[in-house]
Copies of this chain bind each other. A is one copy, B any other.
Amino acid sequence: MHFADRLAVGLRRTRSPLMVGLDPRVGSLPAGLLPVDESPGEIAAAFRQFCCGVIDAVCDVVAVVKPQLAFFEQYGPPGIKALGEVIRHARSKGLLVVLDGKRNDIGSTAEAYAAAYLGAESVWQGDALTVSPYLGDDSLIPFWERARATDSGIFVLVKTSNPGGGFFQDLRTPDAALYQRVAAHVEDLAAQSIGDCGYGIAGAVVGATYPRQLTELRQQMPHAWLLVPGYGAQGGKAEDLRSAFDDSGYGAIVNSSRGIIFAHDREPYRARFGASRWQDAVAAAANDASEELGAVAGLR
């Protein structure tokens, strides 16, 4: 099924646009899952156990997870192997997997990244991949074409959630800000690849920390799914996200990482569950965020 339609079906089924970011960090793991030593193999094993446990806790509540590749790459081949196992586990639970690698390159190198990460037949089996636009329009085409051929998708960085995101993205060009120029290109790619739900396979990363731009970019890219980081731990609020959704409740998936996966160490979940019941804390946090975001989206 077309990637955009699989997203829509997932949101309809769970009545939630929440995407859970899998960003494992040694210092934040529940006490029972700490690696026995600091070797990459032990840390990777702990990451695998933790992320698979998160997936088990959230797979009935959300439709999408987003592994952050950096945290796995940091531990070398064992980390990368754990990433593969986490992806397979997520897929076995029926979750869509957005790989957050922010890859980008040109020509046959871009084709190699696309072949690596996009689609069920690829070695990494991503349903989608985040990509960076700086290298230009011809650098995005190989990803978009591979996504079209494999019923997968891409999310292009447009307006990112970090404080310095505007340093280059907000620069004025003759017609518009840089991020609006990137958005126009994403909309082109999306409009050429729409599924039954009205959205295309090219989406855009637009931070929850910039509500005004989120509204504006939703209008500028009517055919692009938005991947919205910055909700929760980074300060973005649910009510500011209403404009990201269409009348059917589609159009955006909202990421939360730390706020969900390390809920055992955050109130109110720490007091209710603590480290020993960390999966219950994860499930409760995902459920609460899904209720909040599902209501804002109009999915419930």
Contacts and interface: CB of A to CB of B under 8 A. Distances in A.
B174 A157 contact: no
A137 interface: yes
Contacts of A157: 134-135
Contacts of A112: 68, 70-71, 73-74
Contact of A137 (B73, B108, B161, B167): B167
Number of copies: 2
Given A73-B116, A76-B124, A136 B106 contact: no
Contact of A134 (B108, B123, B163, B168): B168
A68 B174 CA distance: 35
Contact of A168 (B102, B116, B133, B172): B133
A80 B166 CA distance: 34
A169 B40 contact: no
A157 B136 CA distance: 12
B133 A134 contact: yes
B102 A162 contact: no
Interface in A56-76: 68, 70-71, 73-76
A164 B178 contact: no
A77 B106 CA distance: 23
Contacts of A139: 160, 162, 164
A172 B70 CA distance: 33
Interface string A141-176: 000000000000000010011111111110111100
A98 interface: no
Contacts of A133: 134, 168
B173 A105 contact: no
Contacts of A19: none
A81 B70 contact: no
Contacts of A267: none
Contact of A174 (B136, B137, B169, B172): B172
A89 interface: no
A84 interface: yes
A130 to B, nearest CB: 9
A55 interface: no
7 contacts: A23-B109, A25-B108, A80-B80, A106-B161, A106-B162, A136-B169, A138-B164
Given A68-B105, A168-B182, A173-B173, 19 more contacts: A40-B123, A70-B110, A70-B112, A74-B123, A76-B124, A77-B77, A79-B123, A102-B105, A102-B132, A132-B135, A134-B157, A134-B160, A134-B168, A136-B165, A138-B162, A139-B160, A139-B164, A173-B178, A178-B178
A-B CB proximity, top 3 nearest: A138-B164, A136-B164, A136-B167
